[in-house]
Every structure is written in structure tokens, then in C-alpha cells.
């Protein structure tokens, strides 16, 4: 078995968790750096749009390493998606498939349901709800919580930060509520 074939086979989810978990002490040891993805958008805005906005007035160059870190994540994801995709089908639990079929989601061949996430839906009511409103709520929640799930749930909890524990509990509660109440209600509304 070649290295490429070894990488392409399905891996247990815990392998990814271990690598993400090892990132935290590695960043701390290599220069007291903290993991966080949402702050990169602020850095990009501060670098590209030098306006008279107090939120963007800070020394973003001091955190330039984070731009390279996020760039590496993006490039790694593109390379993995283009060259390391295996032949194994996406596995979706039977109970989840049955529940999603009620909402007319029947294609489980990709990571995202094609019935929602496709270019044809971009300028429809479904696209407005899932892309525009959903994206706004994610961005608003990230700013309101003072960071994203990777910053709070991975870095903040490992440093025993109380605000990160509160934020992570709220992220999880919001996710459960959305998945079990809001998203089914949106599907019923759209398919009515």
C-alpha cells in the first residue's frame, strides 16, 4: 500500500482530534500563540480596508503568522479535496437519512447536501436563508462571543478560560436547538 492509498482510506475521527489537540500546546510552545480562525477576517479587513474604524485600528502585522496558518488550512483543504479524496462513499447513519428524507434531502453522496448547497439555490429563498441569513448569524455570533468555536472550544477550554466554557456551552446549545427546532421549521416552511 502506497502512502497516497494509506492517506486516502477512511480514518477514525479521533485521529483528527488528536492532531487538532496537539496544535494547542505546539502553538503555545512555539511562541505563546493562540489558535483562532475568526480573528483572521479582522486582520484581512484591517490590512485591506484601512478606514477610520476603531475596531480595525491595531497592529495586525504582529499577528501575521495567523494569516499563514489559516492560509495553510485553506491550501491543505484544497489539496486534500482535489488529490486525496478516496473512493469510499460518505457514510450517513440510516436514522439521519430517514430524518433528512422528510425534508426532501435524498442525495448523500457528498459531505454537504446538494439539495441545499448548490449554485442554483444561491438566489432563491432557500439560498437567502441558508447562505445570507445563516452566514450573518454565524458572523454575528462569532463577534458577540468574542471568538469562534475553534478559538473558544479548542484553545480557550484547554487554557481553562471561563468565558470559553460559557461560549462553548452556548455554541452547543444553539447547535442542538437549531438542528432540532429551527432547521426543521425552515424546511417545513420552504417545502409547504
Read off the pLDDT of residues 89-99 as tens digits, 9 standing for 90 and up: 778 889 989 98
CA distances (Å), origin 29, targets 8, 22, 23, 38, 97? 31, 11, 10, 22, 43
Q: Is pLDDT at 125 greater than 80 in this prediction?
A: yes
- Quote the domain boundaries for residue 177: 90-192
Q: Give pLDDT, residue 102.
A: 86
- The arithmetic mean of pLDDT across residues 106-127, rounded, is 85
Domain boundary among 33, 57, 88: 88
Separation of CA 46 from chain center: 22
CA distances (Å), origin 82, targets 20, 86, 163? 22, 10, 38
Q: Is pLDDT at 169 greater than 90 in this prediction?
A: yes
Q: Are residues 70 and 15 in the same domain?
A: yes
Q: Are residues 62 and 95 in the same domain?
A: no
How big is the chain, counted in residues? 192
| Helix 162-177 vs helix 134-145: crossing angle, to nearest 10 | 160
- The arithmetic mean of pLDDT across residues 39-56, rounded, is 80
- The arithmetic mean of pLDDT across residues 81-102, rounded, is 83
Task: Work out the pLDDT band at 147, boundaries 50, 70, 90.
Answer: confident
Number of domains making up the chain: 2
The Cα–Cα gap between 181 and 133 comes to: 17
The Cα–Cα gap between 37 and 66 comes to: 8
Q: Are residues 7 and 54 in the same domain?
A: yes
Q: Give pLDDT, residue 65.
A: 85
Cβ atoms of 164 and 153 within 8 Å: the answer is: yes
| Helix 38-48 vs helix 64-83: crossing angle, to nearest 10 | 110
Q: Is pLDDT at 192 greater than 80 in this prediction?
A: no
Q: Give pLDDT, residue 176.
A: 94
Q: Are residues 32 and 96 in the same domain?
A: no
Q: Are residues 82 and 96 in the same domain?
A: no
Residue 66 exposed, middle or buried by CB count within 10 Å (0-12, 13-18, 19+): buried
Cell reading at 73: 488550512
- Count the Cβ atoms, other than its own, within 10 Å of residue 148: 23
Amino acid at each position: 500500500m502506497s502512502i497516497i492509498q494509506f492517506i486516502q482510506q477512511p480514518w477514525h475521527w479521533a485521529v483528527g482530534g488528536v492532531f487538532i489537540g496537539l496544535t494547542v500546546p505546539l502553538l503555545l510552545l512555539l511562541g505563546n500563540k493562540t489558535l483562532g480562525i475568526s480573528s483572521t477576517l479582522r486582520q484581512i479587513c484591517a490590512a485591506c480596508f484601512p478606514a477610520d474604524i476603531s475596531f480595525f485600528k491595531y497592529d495586525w502585522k504582529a499577528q501575521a503568522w495567523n494569516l499563514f496558518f489559516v492560509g495553510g488550512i485553506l491550501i491543505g483543504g484544497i489539496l486534500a479535496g482535489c488529490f486525496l479524496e478516496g473512493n469510499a462513499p460518505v457514510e450517513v447513519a440510516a436514522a439521519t437519512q430517514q430524518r433528512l428524507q422528510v425534508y426532501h434531502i435524498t442525495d448523500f453522496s457528498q459531505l454537504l447536501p446538494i439539495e441545499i448547497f448548490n449554485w442554483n439555490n444561491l438566489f432563491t429563498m432557500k439560498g437567502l436563508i441558508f447562505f445570507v441569513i445563516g452566514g450573518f448569524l454565524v458572523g454575528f455570533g462569532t463577534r458577540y462571543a468574542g471568538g469562534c468555536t475553534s478559538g473558544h472550544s479548542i484553545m480557550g477550554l484547554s487554557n481553562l478560560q471561563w468565558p470559553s466554557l460559557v461560549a462553548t456551552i452556548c455554541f452547543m446549545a444553539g447547535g442542538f436547538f437549531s438542528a432540532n427546532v429551527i432547521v426543521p421549521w425552515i424546511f417545513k416552511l420552504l417545502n409547504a
